[in-house]
Structures are given as C-alpha cells and as structure tokens.
Amino acid sequence: MIELTDLRKTFGTVKAVDGVSFTARDGEITGLLGPNGAGKTTTLRMLYTLMKPETGRISVDGVDIARDPDSARRKLGVLPDARGLYKRLTARENVEYFGRLHGLDEATLKQRTDALIASLGIEDIANRRTEGFSNGQRVKTAIARALVHDPRNVLLDEPTNGLDVMATRALRKFMLQLRAEGRCVLFSSHIMQEVAALCDRIVVIAKGRVVAQGTADELRALTGETNLEDAFVKVIGSEEGLSL
C-alpha cells in the first residue's frame, strides 16, 4: 500500500507538484491520469525516492520513505520514465544485475529471473544482447528488471508509451496478473481508455494538483456525465494533452 500526503515540489518558479495526496491499495490497480506535464512523473519520482519532496509524507507499506529510503525501495518495483538497458548485456544479465544489487542470493535470483522471463514471454530474447531490441522487448526487459526482487508494490510510469497494440495488450494482461497476485499497482498514463479499462481507482491530476479521484462510477457521478471520457475532460478543464 502506498500513501502520499500533501506532496509539493517546485522547480524554480514552476509548481510541478502542488499538494498531491492519494492512496494506492493492495490488490488494486490505481491509475494516475493526467495530461502531459501535469506532474505525474515528478510525483512518481518523489515516491521512488529519486527526488525529495519539499513538503509532505510518503509511506510504502507503512514505512516512511524519508526515514528509511532503502527499505522503501526494497518494497517498490519501479519502471521509470527512463528505462534504458545496458546494450552490451543480454536481457537476462540486465535483470540479474539489478537482482544482485537488491541482494538476492544466486538461487533465488535464478528462480525469479526464470519466472519473470516466462510470465513476460521473453524466453526467445532472454539470452540476446539488448542492442537492437524492439520497444516492446525493451519495456518487457525493463519490467522484468524492475520486479526481480518480487516487490509488493509496482510503479509503472507511462508503461505503454511507444508500444504497438500487441505489446500493449500483453502489458495490460501482465498488470492484471500483478493485481491478481495481490500487489499494489500504480501506473501513470495520459491515455483515458487505458486507465478506464484497467483501473480500480483513478486519480486525475492536472497542473500539479489532484482534481478528482475515485472509481470510474464515482467519477461519472461526480461530474454528472455518463461518458467517462467527458467526465475526465470536465475535471481536468480542457482536452489538452490527453489521448483517447
């Protein structure tokens, strides 16, 4: 479970994140929906300890990340916006590198890596160097790398960015599987359909603030719109930066 309370972050005079609070629960997929530049990536970066919030508190499974960042990092599996692989290492070696940094012993590491490679369906490329991988292959490898330590909480920053239909479908299936395993899944997106189709709860963010949150039904009720798409546009205040 992930709880964010009143996060703020400014860059110069720009208030990138301006008082964001929400909770992502175990066994649920929580979607962070917002136009480009709304503050999604900055919010997630504070959550995965890469940036320090100016104010506010973040806890992961009850652990305050400001007080014990390493323990919080162990509980998080993160696919950041930046998902570069080491092109002279194979997919498997990329995954193993992060597993070792998480302190996994060799037996656990092998078992986890094999399991992830199987469930992501990348057996055919596992022992190839990642140079020349397609976008989909790269994202899958990056996800395997992010989840090698079997985290309870999974953060995915715009995971379907740049993927084709097949890869997107495979990824969505994988996220549902993560939910079925009882994990807390939090992902960001600017694609309304995706969020609507996958998420148990939706947090709508615009200009650094949470403008609405709840289930799809709650959002529809809140705005008085029967169409979820219209509901999003209404809470955000414009269609700018959103995709269907």
165-204 binders of other proteins (CB under 8 A) = none
Nearer to other proteins, 237 or 241 (CB): 241
Nearest CA to 117 among 88, 150, 145, 78? 145
Among 14, 36, 52, 169, indicate the residue that binds other proteins (CB under 8 A): 52
Closest C-alpha among 43, 95, 49, 53 to residue 70: 49
Residue list 74-103, contact with other proteins (CB under 8 A) = 74, 76, 78, 80-89, 97-98, 100-103
Residues 6+ apart with CB under 8 A from 16: 9, 10, 39, 42, 208
Between the alpha carbon of residue 185 and those of residues 39, 113, 174, 196, the distances in Å are 19, 20, 11, 15
DSSP 90: B
Q: Which residues are registered as beta bridge partners of 204? A: 33, 212
> Which of 44/125 has CB closer to other proteins?
44
C-alpha 153/C-alpha 77 separation (Å) is: 6
Q: CB of 163 within 8 A of CB of 5?
A: no
Where does this chain touch other proteins (CB under 8 A) — which range of 23-31, 32-40, 139-147, 189-197? Answer: 139-147
Contact between 110 and other proteins by CB under 8 A: the answer reads no
Looking at the Cβ atoms of 96 and 194, the one nearer to other proteins is 96
Indicate whether 111 belongs to the interface with other proteins (CB under 8 A). Answer: no
Q: Contact between 145 and other proteins (CB under 8 A)?
A: yes
For other proteins, the closer of residues 129 and 220 by Cβ is: 129
**List 4, 32, 51, 60, residue binding other proteins (CB under 8 A):** 51
Of 53, 50, 49, 81, the C-alpha closest to 63 is: 49
**Could you tell me the smallest distance in angstroms from the CB atom of residue 75 to other proteins?**
9
54 binds other proteins, rule: CB under 8 A: no
Chain contacts with other proteins (rule: CB under 8 A): 45, 48-52, 69-71, 73-74, 76, 78, 80-89, 97-98, 100-103, 142, 145-146
